[in-house]
Structure 1
Amino acid sequence: MSYCDQIKKRFIRLSRGQRKVAQFVIDNPNVIATHIASDVGKLIGVSESTVIRFCYAMELSGFSELQEKIKQDLMGAGETKKDRPHPLISKKQVNLLIDVMNRDVTSILNTMNIIGEEQFEHAVKLMHESSSLFVLGFRQSSPSASFLTCTLSNYRKHVKQIQHDVESIVQQISHMDENSLLFVIALEHLQEDTITISKLAKDKNVKVIAITHSSISPLRDYADILFTVGTQKTASAETITAAHSLIHALVEGMLAQNRKHYINFQKTNANIESNFPYLEKAQYI
C-alpha cells in the first residue's frame, strides 16, 4: 500500500485544515518531495504549523519523514513499471521532467492564490454579458491570444482576434462600443502599441480585462480587471502555462453562467462544419 493510500484511509479523521494538506499531498506528491514545509503551506493556503500538525496526525516525526515516505512512493511507482530504466529515458531526463512540471504546477498555484474571487466573478460576468469580444496579444503573447480566441469561438459568436497590422487594428477598434469587451494578454515586456490600443478602446467605453506578468503593469491604468499570472521572476514558459490555466478557468466560468446556451451553440457549430467536409480538403489544394 502506498503512503498516499494510507492518507486516504485516515482522511475522515483529520481536521478541516489537515484535510486540505492531505488532499494536496495526494494530488501533488512531486511538490511535497521537492519543497519545504513553509512553501507547501503557502501553496495550499494554510500555515506551516498546519502542515506539521498533519504530519503528527499521520504519526510521523515531522515534514522530513513525510517527504521520505512520498519519495519512496514515487520511486516505487517507477520501479513497478519496469525493473530497469527505459533505454530511451535516462535518470537525468526523468528528473528534468519532474522539475519542469513542478515549476509549472507552482506557477499555477501561485497565480491561483493571488486572484480574488470577486475579481474572477466580475470578469466572468463581463465575458457572459458582452455582445462582442476582442482579443489582443502580440509577439510572445500571440499564441495565448489565439488559444483564448479559439476557445471562446467554440461557445459564442462575435469573437475577434486583433492582428498586428494597422488595417486590422483600425478596423477592429472601429467595431468596438460600450457593449464590447477587450481581452489584453501581455506576458512579456509591454509594447507601446498594446498600451495605445488599450487606451483607444477605453476611450470608447469598452470594458478591458488584462492578463499580464506584472502587478504594476501600465495596463492597470486602462484595465477594468487586471490578472497577474506567475511572478516577474517566473520563466516565460511557466508564465504562459499559468495564463492558459487561468484562461481555461475563465471560459469555464463563462459557460457556467448559461451552460445550456453555450453548449447548444457549440453543437450547432459542429453540425454546420460537418456538412462542409470539402472545406478541410480545400486547405491542401
Structure 2
Amino acid sequence: MGFCDEVKKRFIRLSRGQRKVAQFVIENPNVVATHIASEVGKIIGVSESTVIRFCYAMDLSGYSELQDRIRKDLLESKHVSAGEQLSIGKKHEYLFSEIMNRDVTSILNTIQCIDAESFEKATIYLHEAGIIYTLGYRQCAPSTCYLTSMLENFGKKVTQIKFNVEDIVNQINRMDTDSVLFVIALDSVLEDILTIVKLAKNKKVKIIAITNSSISPVRDYANISFVAGAQKQVALEANTAANSLVHALVEGMTLHNRNYYKKFLNLNAQLDDSLQFLEKRTLTMK
C-alpha cells in the first residue's frame, strides 16, 4: 500500500487542519518531497506545527520520514508509468473492449464504496424533497443533466443551477429546509462548488454529494456523500460510474411510492405518443 493510500484510510480521524495537510500531500507529492515543512505549511495556509502533527498522526517520526515515504512512492510510480502506454490516440482491434471494461471496473469500485444505510437515506431525501436543486459544472455537467432529466421524468420539481452569478444567487435565496441540493463534484476545481455548498448548508438544506475522492472538501458539508469511479480516474471517466449511481438512487426513490411515480411515467409515455401523432399529422398536411 502506498503512503497516500494510508493517508486516505486515516483521513476521517485527522483534525481539520491535518486534513488540509493530508489533501495537499495526496495532490502535490512533488512539492512535499522538495520543500521544507514551514514552506509547505505556508502554501497550505496552516502552521508548521500542524504539518508536523500530521506526520505524528500518520505514525511517522517527523517531516523527514514523510519526505522519505513520498519520494519512495514517486520513484515507484515512475517505474510503473514508464511501462504504460496511453490509450488516447491509440487504435487497436479491442479498443472498445478495453474502454468498456474500464467503465465496468469503475462501476464495480463504486458499488464497493456505497454504504447501504446512506443510500437508503438519500432515496428518502429525494422522495420527500419539496424541490431538488442539481449542481455540477464543467466535466460534471453531463451527469448533472442526466440526474435532472431522471428526476423530472418522475414528476419531481427540479432546478439545475446554471454557471452564472445571478442564477446562483437566485436559487440559493429560494432554498429552504424542504430543499435538497444534489451535487456532482468530480473536478479538481471546486472553489465555486464549495461556495454554493457552504451557503446551502447555512440555510439547513439537505445536501447529497457524489465525488470522485474520499477526501473531497465537498464531503465536509454534505449530509450524505458517495464516491464514484476508480482511484486516480479523471472526471470524464468517472461520469459513467456517477450516472450509474444516479440511476440507482432515482430508482430507489421511486420504491417509496411505486404507484405515484409510475403515474408520471405513464403520463410521459402518453405525451410522447401524442407528440408523435401530431408530428405525423403535420407532415401529412404538408
TM-score by length of 1: 0.62
**2:100 matched to which residue of 1?**
101
**2:236 matched to which residue of 1?**
237
**2:264 matched to which residue of 1?**
265
AA partner of residue 149 (structure 2): C
Per-residue CA deviations over 1:98-117 (Å, capped at 9, x if unaligned) read 11111111110010011111
- CA distance in structure 2 between the aligned counterparts of 1:193 and 1:267, rounded to whole angstroms: 38
- CA distance in structure 2 between the aligned counterparts of 1:255 and 1:94, rounded to whole angstroms: 41
**1:134 matched to which residue of 2?**
133
- CA distance in structure 2 between the aligned counterparts of 1:177 and 1:277, rounded to whole angstroms: 39
Unaligned residue ranges in structure 2 (runs of 5+) = 1-90, 281-286
AA partner of residue 190 (structure 2): Q
Q: 1:264 to 1:189 in 2, by over 3 A?
A: same
Per-residue CA deviations over 1:81-101 (Å, capped at 9, x if unaligned) read xxxxxxxxxxx6442111111
1:257 CA drift (Å): 1.1
Per-residue CA deviations over 1:120-166 (Å, capped at 9, x if unaligned) read 11111111111110000011111111110011100023111000011
Paired residues for 1:58-97 under 5 Å:
93-97=92-96
Paired residues for 1:167-186 under 5 Å:
167-186=166-185
1:244 CA drift (Å): 0.6
1:273 CA drift (Å): 6.2
1:181 CA drift (Å): 0.3
Paired residues for 1:1-20 under 5 Å:
none
AA partner of residue 149 (structure 1): T
**2:157 matched to which residue of 1?**
158
2:123–2:249 CA contact under 8 A, matched in 1: yes
1:236 CA drift (Å): 3.3
- CA distance in structure 1 between the aligned counterparts of 2:275 and 2:232, rounded to whole angstroms: 47
Per-residue CA deviations over 1:28-52 (Å, capped at 9, x if unaligned) read xxxxxxxxxxxxxxxxxxxxxxxxx
- CA distance in structure 2 between the aligned counterparts of 1:112 and 1:272, rounded to whole angstroms: 35
- CA distance in structure 2 between the aligned counterparts of 1:248 and 1:237, rounded to whole angstroms: 17
SS of the equivalent of 2:213 reads coil
Give the number of equivalent residue pairs.
Answer: 190
RMSD: 2.1
Q: 1:203 to 1:260 in 2, by over 3 A?
A: same
1:199 CA drift (Å): 0.7
2:212–2:227 CA contact under 8 A, matched in 1: yes
Per-residue CA deviations over 1:6-55 (Å, capped at 9, x if unaligned) read xxxxxxxxxxxxxxxxxxxxxxxxxxxxxxxxxxxxxxxxxxxxxxxxxx
- CA distance in structure 1 between the aligned counterparts of 2:234 and 2:101, rounded to whole angstroms: 13
- CA distance in structure 2 between the aligned counterparts of 1:173 and 1:240, rounded to whole angstroms: 26
1:149–1:160 CA contact under 8 A, matched in 2: yes
1:214–1:231 CA contact under 8 A, matched in 2: no
**1:114 matched to which residue of 2?**
113
SS of the equivalent of 1:118 reads helix
Q: 1:235 to 1:167 in 2, by over 3 A?
A: closer
1:108–1:245 CA contact under 8 A, matched in 2: yes
- CA distance in structure 2 between the aligned counterparts of 1:235 and 1:157, rounded to whole angstroms: 30
AA partner of residue 198 (structure 2): K
SS of the equivalent of 1:164 reads coil
**2:146 matched to which residue of 1?**
147
- CA distance in structure 2 between the aligned counterparts of 1:237 and 1:179, rounded to whole angstroms: 32
1:173 CA drift (Å): 1.1
- CA distance in structure 2 between the aligned counterparts of 1:235 and 1:279, rounded to whole angstroms: 44
1:278 CA drift (Å): 11
**1:210 matched to which residue of 2?**
209
TM-score by length of 2: 0.62
- CA distance in structure 1 between the aligned counterparts of 2:273 and 2:95, rounded to whole angstroms: 42
AA partner of residue 235 (structure 2): S
Query: What is the aligned-residue identity percentage?
Result: 53
1:243 CA drift (Å): 0.5
1:275 CA drift (Å): 5.3
2:253 paired with 1:254: yes
2:140–2:236 CA contact under 8 A, matched in 1: no
1:210 CA drift (Å): 0.5
AA partner of residue 148 (structure 1): L
**2:46 matched to which residue of 1?**
none
